[in-house]
Structure formats: C-alpha cells, structure tokens
Amino acid sequence: MNAITKDRSDTLAPFGTRLDGVTDPVRKAAIGALHRSGLPDRRVEEWRYTSLRFLTETPLAAPAEVYDAGQVQAQLENLGLNSGTLAELPRLVFVNGRYAEPFSVLPAEVEVSFFAKTQTFGALSAPDRDPLTALNAALASDGAQLHVSAGKNGGDVLLVSLGQTDTPVSFHPRHSVTLDEGAQLTLISIQAGQGRYLHNPVLEISVAAEANLKHVTLQTEGQDAACLATTYAQVAERGTYDSFVLGLGAALSRQEIHARLAAPFATVHVNGAQMLGGKQIGDVTSVITHAAPDCISRQTVRNVLDGHARGVFQGKVFVDRVAQKTDGYQMNQALLLSENAEIDAKPELEIYADDVKCSHGATVGALDDDQLFYLRSRGVPDAEARQILIHAFMDEALGLIEDETARTLCTQMLARSFPVAGESA
C-alpha cells in the first residue's frame, strides 16, 4: 500500500543513447534489469552510504578509440611501472577500457584472450541483482581474459587500466581470470588515469581446486574520476583467493568484492586499506559467502581519513546452512585525522549454520595521545610523529600483501600520496 513507484530509468540519462539498439541477448537482459532498477540511490540498502549523484551530473560519452601514446608512456613511468623489477613484468595495458597492444607484454605461462574478440560473459556475475554489473554488461567493449592451465605457475602479471580524456567518458572493461587445478598466479591490477571519467570494470575469477590466486589492486585514479569496480570470485576445494585492495585516488570509488567459497577447505582473504583526503569518498564493500563446510575467510580493512573525506566499509559474511565448521574473521578499523572526516561502517554477519566460529570487530578513533606523547617526548616534532603513527597504522595492513613486488609498489604509492614529513631530509 502507499507504494511509491517511480520509473528509475531516468538515472540512466548520462549514458544517453548508448543503451539503445542492442541485440545481444545477454546485454539486452542486462539493460532490461538496469531499466527496472536504475542506478541505485541511497535508499537501496547496499548503497546507503555511497551516493552516485556524482555520475548523474554530466553525460558520459563513449571514449575515443585513439589515445595519446606519449601520455600513456608518461603515465606508466609516473606509476613506476617502467623501472626496477616492475619493468620486467609482463603486462596488459588498457587505455580507456581498450587493449593497448604497443604497451603490453604478454605473459609466458598464461593464455590471454580478449573480450573484444570472444564477447563471452562469465557466469559468476549477477547483472540482474547488481546494477553496476548490469551497466558493465550493457556497455563492455573489451577486457583481458587470463587462463592458467593445471599445475602451471603464471608468475606476476600486471593488469593496468589507464583513463585519459578531456571530456567526460565512461568505460566498462570486462576481465576474467581462470585458474585450473593447482595453478598459481599473482595479478597486480592498477587503476589510474587523468580527467573526468567513470571506470566501471567487472572481474570474474574462478579458482579451481588447490589453485592459488594472489590479487592486489592499486587504485590511484584521477582526482575527478569515479571508479566503481566489481569482482566476483569463486574458489573450489582447497583453493585460495588472496585479495588486497589499496584505495588512494578517485573522487568516488567503490571496490565491491563477492567471494564465494564453493567447496570444502577453501580460503579467501579480502583485505584492504584506504587513505583518503580532500572530498574523496571511498567505499569498500564485500560479500563473502561460505557455501561449503570447513572454509576460512579473513578480512582486515583499514581506513585513514583526512580533510572532508568519507570512508565506507560494508562487509557481509554469509554462512550457508551446509557450511559447518566455518571459520570467519572480519576487522575494520578507521583513523580519523580531521574534524570533518567521516567513516561509515557496516560489518554484517548472516549465519545459518550452528557449528561455526565467526567474529567481527570494528574500531574508530583518532591518533592515540599516549603514542603521540611517547614520540614527542623523544624529540620527534608533532607533524612527523603523526605521520609516523599513520604510516605504522597503514603498514600493518600492507603487511598482509604476501607478494613482495606488489607490496613494495603499494608502499611506494602510499608514501608518494602522503609523504612522511622529514623523510626526504
């Protein structure tokens, strides 16, 4: 009764005619779902802390197919990807959502194909439930599809997405990673760019029995950009998906991870850290589903918020009736550095099995006065003492990244965004 029904299609206005005239059945279904749901507003429970109004303000065109090679080169160098050990790593570079072959080096032990050619959507994503996945399905034009065959070690692979535009655009890459039985891979995703754009990637991950995927995402998008990324991961028996997301850039970002433990003794880690200032909004949302017994999930997410920044953490652990002996742990911590910063956290447990061990914790606070006093009393100036404590707080999170190359990269990018005072002296 009293239902207020409203056509939500108007929220799709920024995409103009890009959603019209589609014939592909999967895309058509996604567009249908999108027209019914519209882009979510804050009345949708999953989006109560993150508003997409930022997106609806300007029309978002399809990006031009040509790009400025010099600028790409500069961007890669700026990210430090062309120097040191990183320069040696195979890489797949995408500019505005399209594969940029001249800057890419294919990995030896990994089969690579591209969405632009195969046009195959995976089965893990849920365009009918998640509007941003539907948006991706509707507009995806390219993406990397990685496959590591049984028992092989794919080594380290960089997946780089660069945005580069003068007018507002949106791009929707569709990536997938498939690890066969016993395979291994370390994937380092880098999201960066310049200009005003929406980067809306969907990544589908399938980890077979005894396979191991390490996945580190470094999000350092441009100041005017929005990055709304969704990852769907499925892990089979004794498989491991170890994920870490570091959020530093973008005006508006959301890293949404759906991880499903589909068979016994599987493990997932969904860790992350955010360091935000100015008016940035950074959202880390995860849904970890224990669909089989004897699985382990771990999650630690740390936020440092300065200026008018707002951090959002939504973490759901769902334990199915069959998932006995589940071991789940979730921790979210936030450090507020300014009077105007804000953190909104919603750690959630939904449990239907009785023989489980699940816990979560959340803490929010400012820098500890005692710790500050300790440093000050040893002659460390105030500003520097604060920086030391902040970096110590973040370092504990970054310590969860197992892969050394990825950890070094993240530490460097973090130090560059928020330098420790006096370190250069």
Residues that bind another protein (CB under 8 A): 1-4, 45, 321, 324, 334, 336-366
The neighbouring-strand residues paired with 266 are none
Shortest distance in whole angstroms from residue 319 CB to another protein: 8
Unique residue bearing structure tokens 């800057």 = 103
Q: C-alpha distances in angstroms, 232 versus 123, 130, 202, 416?
A: 10, 11, 8, 30
On whether the CB atoms of residues 414 and 275 are closer than 8 A, the answer is: yes
Closest CB 318 distance from another protein, rounded Å? 9
DSSP string covering 113-154: EEHHHH----SS--TTT-HHHHHHHHH----EEEEE-TT-EE
CB of 340 to another protein, least distance (A): 8
- In the complex with another protein, which residue's Cβ is closer, 262 or 334? 334
- Shortest gap between Cβ of 302 and another protein (angstroms)? 15
Query: Which DSSP state fits 325?
Result: T
Burial 264-277 (b: 16+ CB within 10 A, else e): bbbbbbbbbbbbbb
Nearer to another protein, 352 or 373 (CB): 352
Distance CA 47, CA 288 (A): 17
Q: Give alpha helix (H) positions in 276-351.
A: none
CB of 118 to another protein, least distance (A): 40
For residue 88, count CB atoms less than 10 angstroms from its CB and return exposed for 0-12, middle for 13-18, buried for 19 or more: exposed
Helix (H, G, I), strand (E, B) or coil at 250: coil
Name which of 230 and 332 has its Cβ closer to another protein: 332
Q: Helix or strand or coil: residue 280?
A: coil
Q: Give the nearer residue to another protein in terms of CB position, either 40 or 201.
A: 40
Least distance to another protein from the beta carbon of 227, Å?
A: 23
Query: Nearer Cβ to another protein, position 106 or 366?
Result: 366
192 or 304: whose CB is closer to another protein?
304
Least distance in Å: CB of 423 to another protein?
A: 24
Report the residue number, 18 or 316, with the smaller CB distance to another protein: 316
| Amino acid occupying residue 291 | A
Kindly state the smallest distance separating residue 305's Cβ from another protein, in Å.
9
**Which residue is listed with tokens 């005692």?**
370
The whole-angstrom separation of Cα 101 and Cα 72 is 12
Please state the closest distance from residue 6 (CB atom) to another protein, in A: 12
Q: CB of 327: closest distance to another protein in angstroms?
A: 11
Tell me whether residue 200 or residue 332 sits nearer to another protein (CB atom).
Answer: 332
Closest CA to 386 of 248, 340, 394, 279: 394
Three-state DSSP string of 30-92? HHHHHHHHCCCCCCCHHHCCCCCHHHHCCCCECCCCCCCHHHHHHHHHHCCCCCHHHHHCCEE
Q: Using the minimum distance from each CB to another protein, give the nearer residue, 193 or 315.
A: 315
User: Tokens 């995408």 map to which residue?
Assistant: 94
Q: How far is the CB of 47 from another protein (least distance, A)?
A: 13
Which pairing describes strands 197-199 and 212-220: parallel, antiparallel, or unpaired?
A: unpaired
43 vs 378 by CB, closer to another protein: 43
Residue 384, token pair as written in the block: 């520097």
User: Quick one: 12 or 295, whose CB is closer to another protein?
Assistant: 295
